[in-house]
Amino acid sequence: MAKIIDGKAISAQIRAEIKEQVGTFCAEHGRAPFLSVVIVGDDPASQVYVRNKERACNEVGIGSDVLRLPSDTDEETLLSLIDRLNRDPGVNGILVQLPLPSGIDEKKVICAIDPSKDVDAFGYENVGRILTGDYDFLPCTPAGVMELLKRSGISAAGKDCVVIGRSNIVGKPMAALLMHENGTVTVCHSKTADLPAHTRRADILVSAIGKAGFVTADMIKEGAVIIDVGINRTPEGKLTGDVDYEGCFEKASAITPVPGGVGPMTITMLLKNTLKAAEKQI
């Protein structure tokens, strides 16, 4: 039977630590770290994510504002707002909520953020630094997974680690971080031949696909650690991951639930990055 990796509890513990560190920062510098979140348009899921980020900042004492732009905002207007935030010494972290409306070049916008304020770590400079292992910030979701492993006493060193998914925001940086921790990493994707042959070798399996119930018990090794990054909605509106949780529970040695696994860690890592950005800038 698997140990449940409780992302909610681990996240609460880290947020308490961050709150204390923010208190120390405020006492030393007379002001709180500050995050500016930019959202363009009215995508309902993005609105929820942004509200959650604002609430989380509040809880730990990080200052924040949300700059809401209409969906017909052009690229130039957005770039000039980012330029203003880059030059504002009162702003330590800048996050542009994705996706952006069509017609705006996401890469150009993300790379316009000053790398020292790029708390999502999606800009090319930070991506390069992550790959070389010389980084200040890590992208929030893969960083959250590494923290879950660490605080659950699970080391990737020498283990067969299999990541399903190769997106720029989850799969690729996840593979890099597991490699930095001396895991032997395989990255699978939609063109991988005989995917179960790879997943069955995994001591640590990270699934970041976006397909409910994709990873079934017959695809995992006895005693594997299963990390489910996926967030999917069932036709009934229930939140679920990529992994058949009930099916894999008996066979795995540890497993993250959805909700309550990786999800709460993502915003927690954003708070950590914002504090770190403020410390570095001062």
Q: How far is it, in rounded angstroms, from Cα 195 to Cα 180?
A: 24
Q: What's the min distance (Å) between Cβ of 28 and ligand NDP?
A: 31
Q: What's the min distance (Å) between Cβ of 165 and ligand NDP?
A: 4
Q: Among the candidate windows 48-56, 65-73, 112-120, 165-173, which touches ligand NDP by CB under 6 A? A: 165-173
Question: Position 39: which residue type?
Answer: I
Choosing from 6, 118, 120, 228, the catalytic residue is: 120
Which parts of the chain fold into alpha helices (H)? 7-29, 44-60, 75-87, 106-112, 124-132, 140-151, 171-180, 195-199, 245-249, 263-281
Asked whether position 188 contacts ligand NDP by CB under 6 A, the answer is yes
Contact 270, 140 (CB under 8 A): yes
Q: How far is it, in rounded angstroms, from Cα 7 to Cα 13?
A: 10
Q: Which of 37, 229, 243, 269: binder of ligand NDP (CB under 6 A)? A: 229
Residue of 244, 243, 249, 217 lying closest to 230 (CA atoms): 243
Q: Which of 132, 190, 216, 234: binder of ligand NDP (CB under 6 A)? A: 190
Q: Which residue has the tokens 């489910």?
A: 228
Q: Which of 266, 268, 273, 274: binder of ligand NDP (CB under 6 A)? A: 266
Q: Which is nearer to ligand NDP, 101 or 264 (CB)?
A: 264
Contacts with ligand NDP in 110-139 (CB under 6 A)? Answer: none
Q: Which of 164, 202, 225, 255: binder of ligand NDP (CB under 6 A)? A: 164
Q: Which of 101, 159, 263, 275: binder of ligand NDP (CB under 6 A)? A: 263
Task: Verify whether residue 97 is a known catalytic residue.
Answer: yes
Task: Verify whether residue 53 is a known catalytic residue.
Answer: yes
Give CA torsion, residues 155, 158, 161, 166, to 10 deg: 100
Asked whether position 238 contacts ligand NDP by CB under 6 A, the answer is no
List the 204-207 sheet strands across, edge first: 3-4, 254-255, 225-228, 204-207, 160-164, 184-188
Asked whether position 171 contacts ligand NDP by CB under 6 A, the answer is yes
Asked whether position 141 contacts ligand NDP by CB under 6 A, the answer is yes
Q: Among the candidate windows 41-49, 65-73, 123-131, 189-197, which touches ligand NDP by CB under 6 A? A: 189-197
Q: How far is it, in rounded angstroms, from Cα 32 to Cα 179?
A: 35
Asked whether position 215 contacts ligand NDP by CB under 6 A, the answer is no
CA 83 to chain centre: 25
Q: Which is nearer to ligand NDP, 203 or 228 (CB)?
A: 228
105 CB-near residues (< 8 Å, 6+ apart): 75
Q: Which is nearer to ligand NDP, 267 or 278 (CB)?
A: 267
Q: Which of 3, 55, 84, 189: binder of ligand NDP (CB under 6 A)? A: 189
Q: How far is it, in rounded angstroms, from Cα 215 to Cα 207?
A: 8
Site residues (vs ligand NDP, CB under 6 A): 141, 164-167, 169-171, 188-192, 195, 208-211, 229-232, 262-263, 266
Catalytic residues: 53, 97, 120
